[in-house]
Structure 1
């Protein structure tokens, strides 16, 4: 860790830099209660309280962590438009929206495409149609590979009649993915913070070892070249967001005008429960 304000540290400064609100801490204390005896609380319970708090207060925006370029071959070159996008889902009692730019070249998540998908993969694949969040239906027509045989670019077509995500002919698509316009997206750095230790109680280690033996080597993963929609460009420092389908994030003090930095507060779901169940 880099100091008392490192977002992995259970300090007031660390939690603030990680985007955890005072309300989330109070809600957690209401859940676990206060005891005069020494007790351990599951970190998963704390993360649950943080998710519940942020879910009801932060706007949703789109950020692509591992960009894969998509070219819409039947979208007019030079054309641009703005799509309406809500900041909040229907179950959050807040209102607000923003305009999201749309153009011929987009970025999607690399993990949202597979050349030879398994049966239950409902995202983009050759010949398959998906919905772009707030946008159009697109169909993958061609896959461009680089010299190493890796996917470098996708050529797709879009259906202009499906603006907003619905089809006039009533056809359904199972997959909805997020995206950003390649021309308008901002470069940003993501710091994916996770639990500092690999087990719930770092003092519970074999004889002859200490807490250093259970440090999580993946407690911080830096994504240097993510792409985020431009609506966040003029937001205040330490603004909090839900990056759709990714997690909750907060702006960091290391941000610059040319490259904002965002710290992950918590994932959308408890991925650790799944990992430890394997």
Structure 2
């Protein structure tokens, strides 16, 4: 973030005008929850303001009441604060400027730079042309100024049906920039607005409102993603024609975030939610900020990720493993180690007496000795992981096999002697022998948990939501949905975890990092979310 091209632009700006205060803004539309792509923009805008002793405004782009809700505004505020950032003074709204925006639109009409259009949406698109075909003038383009003023006022008074009219800028229907071919500035919408209620029935388009709001707030650097690159031409045209000539804000574009196996389009996220394939905006499988938070990601890991991907103009898709590496790094030193068994198989150690209990004192963290130690129990009956036992030996397999020895972590070597099965040929338990004093090098090590020192738990395992690396590019992204993206497992954890706080993160040895979600009570057993596996792969535990 410190050496990107935008920072270089700002440094030059400061050298040229050392007394000017840097002002940025984060302008989300409150029509959904924020996602990891927004986090990139949040970090950029707020970090720049912090670095150069400037300010960053939070401004809600609330120009479409049909799609916007108060709950989205509240969630956006919560996400920004959770990420560790603070906006300048009170949040701002584009609706704060509706009166001024209307007057600026009237000014454009009076200067013969805007007109009331009666073509419908499809006709406007047809008249606009394409990249290879120039547009043609609307039959309503040459109305008189007086007629346009009356029509626009009547639009404001609600005298025309929704969709019957709009206000367009009069620029150039033959411009190589399609955005300059008489773009729509205002449209009629009969919906109650969350801030202005029913005061207005005409609402400005983003491109008209955004640049004016930037200018009114004194924004110096208006930062947006590359899909708005051509829009910069309209941004400059509007500010010039409305005579915002005293240090107008300048727009700069950077590449948006594309993440492997992930959908970030709010429209497509809504489709997923409405299809009941995920449980709302905060589903831990989604890369919304609330989803990542619910899964167990930390603000530090997300900020670290944004630092690593940087700010460029190059369009690329970022590997999911980079995001996972950031959370592993952040959790590694802060998460105590515990043992858990997700797919349990019972082991009976035949050469131990029935009531044998032995204690081992182990560190809660191998590198952070300040975390102290705990005692784990070694008893006649223990659980091990199902994937750590095989009925047939395999090449390079280092788990438990009949006649083969493995070491129980922190404890002894055991050897499988016999498998006991039920009538359906399902394994009931494995009879083993332990070797208390024999040391053997180059032997497999597995984790385990004493039945007497365990309590039941459920584990929510989240995997990639889309099998395709780039579902955004598919004609039907739903076809790439991974039916194994969520799996619930029931197993056991060390009893000590029962006494520890909710929202504590752990590294369950040899399995991954987990977040404790609920306390044990009459209705629920302790529940854990898997945040990330230990290795750079996705394990579904099927």
Question: So what's the TM-score if we normalise by structure 1?
Answer: 0.87
User: SS where residue 50 of structure 1 aligns?
Assistant: helix
Give, in whole Å, the separation in 1 of the partners of 2:402 and 2:428.
Answer: 14
Give, in whole Å, the separation in 2 of the partners of 1:36 and 1:16.
Answer: 28
User: SS where residue 327 of structure 2 aligns?
Assistant: helix
- The answer on whether the counterparts of 1:240 and 1:248 sit within 8 Å (CA) in structure 2 is yes
Structure having the larger proportion of residues in strand:
1
User: Which structure 2 residues correspond to residues 138-177 of structure 1 after superposition, within 5 A?
Assistant: 138-161=414-437, 167=438, 170-177=439-446
Give, in whole Å, the separation in 2 of the partners of 1:119 and 1:176.
Answer: 16
Give, in whole Å, the separation in 1 of the partners of 2:370 and 2:392.
Answer: 41
Match of 1:211 in 2: 477
* 1:128 equivalenced with 2:404 (yes/no): yes
Give, in whole Å, the separation in 1 of the partners of 2:436 and 2:529.
Answer: 36
What does the per-residue CA deviation read over 1:80-109, in whole Å, with 9 as the maximum and x for residues that have no partner? 12211222234x575422111221100111
Ranked by relative contact order (alpha carbons within 8 Å, sequence separation 6 or more), the top structure is 1
- The answer on whether the counterparts of 1:247 and 1:268 sit within 8 Å (CA) in structure 2 is yes
Larger Rg: 2
Give, in whole Å, the separation in 2 of the partners of 1:152 and 1:12.
Answer: 43
Give, in whole Å, the separation in 2 of the partners of 1:119 and 1:29.
Answer: 41
- The answer on whether the counterparts of 1:5 and 1:11 sit within 8 Å (CA) in structure 2 is yes
What does the per-residue CA deviation read over 1:22-45, in whole Å, with 9 as the maximum and x for residues that have no partner? 111111111101347766422221
What does the per-residue CA deviation read over 1:191-229, in whole Å, with 9 as the maximum and x for residues that have no partner? 101111112322111xxx322222221110111x21111
Match of 2:291 in 1: 14
Give, in whole Å, the separation in 1 of the partners of 2:483 and 2:323.
Answer: 21
- The answer on whether the counterparts of 2:363 and 2:369 sit within 8 Å (CA) in structure 1 is no
Unaligned segments of structure 1, at least 5 residues: 162-166
* 1:100 equivalenced with 2:366 (yes/no): no
Match of 2:453 in 1: 184
Over the aligned positions, Cα root-mean-square deviation in angstroms equals 2.1
- The answer on whether the counterparts of 1:144 and 1:151 sit within 8 Å (CA) in structure 2 is yes
- The answer on whether the counterparts of 1:123 and 1:177 sit within 8 Å (CA) in structure 2 is yes
User: SS where residue 434 of structure 2 aligns?
Assistant: strand
* 1:256 equivalenced with 2:520 (yes/no): yes
Shift of 1:69: 0.6
- The answer on whether the counterparts of 2:453 and 2:495 sit within 8 Å (CA) in structure 1 is yes
User: Which structure 2 residues correspond to residues 30-41 of structure 1 after superposition, within 5 A?
Assistant: 30-35=307-312, 40-41=317-318
* 1:54 equivalenced with 2:334 (yes/no): no
Structure having the larger proportion of residues in helix:
2
Give, in whole Å, the separation in 1 of the partners of 2:331 and 2:348.
Answer: 34
The one of 462, 470, 474 aligned to 1:201:
470
Give, in whole Å, the separation in 2 of the partners of 1:21 and 1:198.
Answer: 25
- The answer on whether the counterparts of 2:376 and 2:453 sit within 8 Å (CA) in structure 1 is no
Unaligned segments of structure 2, at least 5 residues: 1-277
Give, in whole Å, the separation in 2 of the partners of 1:242 and 1:268.
Answer: 9
Shift of 1:149: 2.4
Q: Which runs of 4+ in 1 moved over 6 A?
A: none
Give, in whole Å, the separation in 2 of the partners of 1:154 and 1:173.
Answer: 23
User: Which structure 2 residues correspond to residues 48-87 of structure 1 after superposition, within 5 A?
Assistant: 48-87=325-364
